[in-house]
C-alpha cells in the first residue's frame, strides 16, 4: 500500500512535468529569453510571465500552509528555509548559472523543452550539464573546489535567534502575511501591463508553471508525502525516499547521470528524474502534434564551444546555488527563502552581463 503511494507521487510528478513541457513549448516560456527580451529590447512580457509564475507559486504555498494541506517547513530538498545562509554559494552559483544558461541558449527547463522539440544541441547540453552536476553531487569535487570557502562564508541565522531564512521569519511579519503580500504585489505588477493582459500565451505559461510548483509541494508535503515519509522512516527504505520538494532541474540532471550508470537500479528513479522526463515528453508531444518538431545541430565549432562551456557552468553553478531559474527562481522563492532571492538576482545579473559582453564583442567584430 505504502509503495503504491510512492509510485502515485512519481506518477503525478511525471504527468505534471508533461503538462509543464507542453505548455512551455506552446507559450515559449523561457527565463533566459525573459532576461534577453528585457535587456536587449526593453520587452518585459516574458519577464512578467516569470513573475506571474512566482506569484502563483508563492500564493499557492501560502494557501497550502495556512490551510494545513501541506507542511513545508525547513526540512525540504534542497534546504530552502534553512537558518544557514550560504550567501556566497547562492551569489557565485547563481552568477555562474546565469552566464551558462545564456551561452547554452536556455536554462535547465528550456533545455529539456528544446530537446523535446528536436534540438540535438540541447541534448549535448543536457549530457554535459548532467556530468558536471553528478560531479558536484556524488563525488568529492564540491568539497575540494568549494567546500571550505562556502562553509567559511555561511551565516548561522539561528545564532541571531532566527528560525529560518524565510523572509516572513526574518522580518517578523510571518510567512503567511509576507507571502500573501509578495504574491499579490507580483501579481499586480505582472498584470499592470496592457500588452501582458492581452497575451493568452504569457498568462497561460506563467500560470501553469506556477501551479506545477504548487502541485509538487502538495504531493510531497501533503498527506501523500507524509504517509510515504512515515513508512520510509519506519522501513528504512532510503533509496526510495521522496523528500518535501517541488520542481527543480539541475540536481535531477546529476541524479539522471547516476541512474544512467546504474540503469538496473530503479530505486534511483526519484522526483527529479520523473520531472525531467515529463518535461521532455510533454514538449515532444506538443511538437509532434503541432508539427513543429525540428532537428537542430550546431552551426560551427564556435557554437558548440559556447554551448559546451555554458553547460559546464550550468551544471556546476546550478548545483552550487542549489537550484536554477525554476528550482530557486520559482520553487525556492515560493518558500520566501532569502537565499533563493539572492540566487534569482544573481542569475539575472550573470545572464545580463553575458548578453552585454556578447553584444560588445559583436560590435567589436563589426
Please give the Cα distance from 252 to 229 (Å, whole number): 20
Q: Which region, left, alpha or beta, applies to residue 100 given φ > 0 means left and ψ of -120 to 50 means alpha?
A: alpha
Q: What is the pLDDT of residue 307?
A: 98
Q: What is the pLDDT of residue 157?
A: 95
Residues near 192 by beta carbon (within 8 Å), at least 6 away in sequence: none
Please give the Cα distance from 230 to 224 (Å, whole number): 10
Q: Is the Cβ–Cβ distance between 111 and 125 less than 8 Å?
A: yes
Residues near 78 by beta carbon (within 8 Å), at least 6 away in sequence: 245, 248, 251, 322, 323, 327, 332
Residues near 108 by beta carbon (within 8 Å), at least 6 away in sequence: 101, 129, 248, 249, 250, 253, 314, 318, 324, 325, 326, 327
Q: What is the pLDDT of residue 273?
A: 97
Q: Considering only CA atoms, which of 250, 303, 237, 330 is closest in space to residue 105?
A: 303
Q: What is the pLDDT of residue 183?
A: 98
CA 261 to chain centre: 24
The owner of cell 522580518 is 171
Q: What is the pLDDT of residue 160?
A: 87
Angle between the N-to-C axes of helices 2-27 and 223-235, in degrees from 0 to 180, rounded to the nearest 10: 130
Determine which helix (DSSP H) or strand (DSSP E) holds 192, and give its type and residue range. none
The owner of cell 555561511 is 154
Please give the Cα distance from 128 to 260 (Å, whole number): 13
Residue 294 neighbours by CB distance under 10 Å: 9
Bridge partners of 337? 166
The owner of cell 502515485 is 8
Q: Is residue 163 classed as helix, strand or coil in its secondary structure?
A: coil
Bridge partners of 155? 85
Residue-wise pLDDT tens digits, 168-198: 999 999 999 999 999 999 999 999 999 999 9
Mean pLDDT, 10 residues at a time, the chain of 366 residues: 76 97 98 95 96 98 95 92 97 98 97 98 98 98 96 94 94 96 98 97 98 96 67 55 89 97 92 97 98 96 97 98 97 98 98 95 86
> In sequence order, what DSSP letters do the residues of 285-351 get, joined into one string?
HHHHHTT----B--SSHHHHHHHHHHHHHHHHHHHHTT--TTIIIIIIGGGTBHHHHHHHHHHHHHH
Q: Is the Cβ–Cβ distance between 39 and 249 less than 8 Å?
A: no
Q: Which region, left, alpha or beta, applies to residue 106 given φ > 0 means left and ψ of -120 to 50 means alpha?
A: left
DSSP letter (8 states) at residue 80: T
Q: What is the pLDDT of residue 5?
A: 78
Q: Considering only CA atoms, which of 298, 314, 279 is closest in space to residue 135?
A: 314
Please give the Cα distance from 18 to 286 (Å, whole number): 10
Please give the Cα distance from 229 to 236 (Å, whole number): 10
Amino acid at each position: 500500500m505504502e509503495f503504491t503511494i510512492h509510485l502515485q507521487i512519481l506518477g503525478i510528478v511525471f504527468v505534471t512535468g508533461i503538462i509543464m513541457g507542453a505548455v512551455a513549448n506552446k507559450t515559449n516560456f523561457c527565463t533566459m529569453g525573459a532576461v534577453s527580451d528585457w535587456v536587449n529590447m526593453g520587452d518585459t512580457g516574458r519577464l512578467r510571465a516569470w513573475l506571474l509564475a512566482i506569484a502563483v507559486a508563492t500564493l499557492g504555498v501560502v494557501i497550502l500552509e495556512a490551510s494545513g494541506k501541506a507542511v513545508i517547513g525547513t526540512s525540504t530538498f534542497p534546504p530552502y528555509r534553512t537558518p544557514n545562509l550560504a550567501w556566497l554559494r547562492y551569489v557565485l552559483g547563481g552568477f555562474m548559472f546565469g552566464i551558462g544558461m545564456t551561452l547554452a541558449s536556455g536554462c535547465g527547463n528550456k533545455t529539456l523543452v528544446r530537446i523535446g522539440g528536436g534540438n540535438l544541441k540541447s541534448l549535448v547540453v543536457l549530457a554535459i550539464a548532467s556530468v558536471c552536476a553528478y560531479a558536484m553531487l556524488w563525488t568529492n569535487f564540491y568539497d575540494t573546489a568549494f567546500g571550505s570557502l562556502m562553509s567559511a562564508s555561511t551565516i548561522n541565522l539561528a545564532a541571531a535567534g532566527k528560525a529560518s531564512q524565510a523572509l516572513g521569519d526574518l522580518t517578523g511579519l510571518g510567512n503567511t502575511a509576507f507571502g500573501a503580500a509578495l504574491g499579490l504585489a507580483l501579481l499586480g505588477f505582472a498584470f499592470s501591463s496592457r500588452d501582458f493582459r492581452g497575451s493568452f500565451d504569457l498568462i497561460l505559461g506563467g500560470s501553469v508553471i506556477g501551479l506545477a510548483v504548487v502541485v509538487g509541494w502538495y504531493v510531497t508535503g501533503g498527506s501523500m508525502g507524509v504517509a510515504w515519509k512515515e513508512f520510509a522512516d519506519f522501513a528504512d527504505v532510503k533509496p526510495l525516499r521522496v523528500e518535501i520538494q517541488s520542481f527543480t532541474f539541475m540536481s535531477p540532471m546529476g541524479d539522471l547521470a547516476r541512474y544512467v550508470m546504474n540503469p538496473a537500479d530503479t530505486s534511483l528513479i526519484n522526483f527529479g528524474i520523473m520531472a525531467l522526463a515529463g518535461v521532455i515528453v510533454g514538449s515532444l508531444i506538443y511538437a509532434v502534434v503541432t508539427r513543429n518538431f525540428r532537428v537542430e545541430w550546431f552551426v560551427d565549432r564556435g557554437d558548440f564551444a559556447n554551448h559546451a562551456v555554458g553547460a559546464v557552468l550550468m551544471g556546476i553553478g546550478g548545483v552550487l546555488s542549489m537550484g536554477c531559474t525554476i528550482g530557486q527562481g520559482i520553487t525556492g522563492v515560493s518558500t520566501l527563502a532569502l537565499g533563493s532571492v539572492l540566487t534569482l538576482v544573481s542569475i539575472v545579473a550573470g545572464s545580463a552581463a553575458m548578453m552585454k559582453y556578447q553584444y560588445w564583442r559583436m560590435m567589436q567584430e563589426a
